[in-house]
Amino acid sequence: MNKVHPTSFIDETAVLGENIEIGPFCTVGPGVTIGDNCKLVSHVVLEGKTDIGNDNTFFPFSIIGAEPQDLKYHGEPTELRIGNGNTFREFASVHRGTVTGIGETLIGDDNLIMGYVHVGHDCVIGNSNVLANYVALSGHVVIDDHAVLGGQTGVVQFLRIGSYAYIGGASVIDRNIPPYAMGYGNRLEIKGINIVGLKRRGFSRESIAAILDAHKLYYRSDMSEVEALRRIEAEIGDVEEVRLFTNFIREVGGKVH
């Protein structure tokens, strides 16, 4: 059974699942679908063509599914799709896609989107990521899985951040960040690999050592990027965790420096 506070507005075309809690002064607009066990604490706005999965929580003043902040957008029908188990904290804003992009913004499962985070149009966020307070993603940013972005970090458009990356606070990301990388700064510099995060995620000693060797060859040797990548693949390319690193570099065209 759903619980809807009498001060909230639910459009007649909105589709609600089961066991949903909608607190005071919320707005659920036309075209919104909400899955089971979701909670809107208060003063939440859900609008646009927005499809929300199960077990998501939206804290006060979060704005989800708003029109993209793009001067080329002229009211075309675009979408936002959100998976399961995500948390959107106070004043988070997530915008729909654009027809000049992929037409939709995508958020996977089990992400923590903290206060005042901005997720721009056509972004693709995977699973189990943490975006700390005031993180701003420009349009067309891709974040894979299990990444952590520190507070007040900005990401330039059309960039990708790999799985298990850790970015320190107040950084400006103007390049692609490969999996496992740890870095910070304005502009961001990659300092090493996210050893603490990998241990917490249960990576073996052998896997971490192989990732570290790959990182040293690519970033700390005198070889060219092409040579380093070839040597990594020849010597430790059979390690699954290393393949995630090398595949990422090839997919982004080597643009990680």
Active site residues: 121-122, 139
Report DSSP state, residue 69. Answer: S
Q: Give the per-residue SS3 of 98-159.
A: CCCCCCEEEECCCCEECCCCEECCCCEECCCCEECCCCEECCCCEECCCCEECCCCEECCCC
- Rounded to the nearest angstrom, the gap between the alpha carbon of residue 156 and the centroid of all alpha carbons in its chain is 13
Distance (Å) of CA 18 to CA 3, 54, 109: 10, 9, 19
> What phi and psi values does residue 215 have, to the nearest 5 degrees?
-65, -45
The number of beta carbons lying within 10 Å of the beta carbon of residue 91 is 18
DSSP readout, 193-225?
Answer: E-HHHHHHTT--HHHHHHHHHHHHHHHTSSS-H
Look up residue 181 and give its two tokens: 């990388």
Burial class (CB in 10 A: 0-12, 13-18, 19+), 31: buried
Q: Closest Cα partner for 252 from 162, 169, 123, 119? A: 162
Beta bridge partners of 137: 119, 155
